[in-house]
Amino acid sequence: MNVAVVFENEAWCAVLKPANTLSVPSRQGEDDARTCVGTNLQTQLGQRIWPVHRLDFEVSGLLIFAKTADAHRNANTAFEKGLIQKTYHAVSAREACDPDPRLYQDQARLVAPSLENVESPWSTRLVSGKRRSFAAPHGKESLTRASWKIHSASSRLWTLHPLTGRSHQLRLHMALAGFPIHGDTLYGSQASHSGEGIALQAVKLDFSKLSENERRGLPTFLEIQLSL
């Protein structure tokens, strides 16, 4: 697979990850036959690269790799401090549904914004299970900002900003708000997705909070056109 490069300089390589591909090799290593973007990109560039964040197998969108160890360290620190803002788009049904009670146990459900283009904060204590995440008192704090607009007669288009980077955070939060992402049967979606994977795409990385030295040639943001 030829990896589509969105931006590249001496320190970074940002690519477009297709849905149903791995960001980095799985624990199975060479025994896992699934396509891995990181492995293919390393071969394509002919040099070692370092992943600084990941997208779920089913998710498409912007993915950035460091081309030097120093850039990798800087990026890890920036992501940990929340200095790099990520924006995702997702498509859900227009009408809410009741989430699977196993996803939130004795925790409160999340409340979706009642009006278009009004942003709401979502917060849960999230636990990463073997297959999917769920909300529980002993979990780690997970924070998302969410808004929506009408996408079609039967669907909503969501803009999601994860403020923390927990496993399956956006997928769980959408389900707990009653709007599982199209195609995401793991979190209760009954609607199919016309494309590969699920209807969730990473569309923007904002580096504006980083100093020019920390950006190492990155623009203040990278953005792709939505293709869900």
Cα angle 63-68-74, degrees, rounded to a multiple of 5: 70
Biggest CA–CA distance in the chain, Å, is 50
Environment class of 107 (CB within 10 Å of its CB; exposed 0-12, middle 13-18, buried 19+): middle
What are 176-201's pLDDT values in tens digits? 999 999 999 999 999 988 888 999 99
Residues of the chain with CATH 3.30.2350.10: 4-82+210-223, 87-201
The answer to whether 123 and 192 are in contact (CB under 8 A) is no
Q: What are phi and psi of 126, to 5 degrees?
A: -110, 135
What are 52-110's pLDDT values in tens digits? 999 999 999 999 999 999 999 999 999 988 899 999 999 999 999 999 888 987 777 89
What are 141-188's pLDDT values in tens digits? 999 999 999 989 999 999 999 999 999 999 999 999 999 999 999 999
| Assigned fold of 4-82+210-223 | Pseudouridine synthase (3.30.2350)
Mean pLDDT, residues 31-45 taken together? 92
Q: How confident is the model at residue 128 (pLDDT cuts 50, 70, 90)?
A: very high
Alpha-carbon gap, residue 88 to 119, rounded angstroms: 14
CB atoms within 10 A of CB 84: 21
Strand partners, 51: 65
Q: Which residue has the higher pLDDT, 28 or 79?
A: 79
Q: In terms of CATH architecture, what is 87-201?
A: 2-Layer Sandwich (3.30)
**DSSP string of 46-85?**
TS--EES----TT-EEEEEEESSHHHHHHHHHHHHTT-SE
Buried b (16+ CB within 10 A) or exposed e, 152-183: eeebbbbbbbbbeebbbbbbbbbbbbbbbbbb
Q: Which amino acid is at 137?
A: P
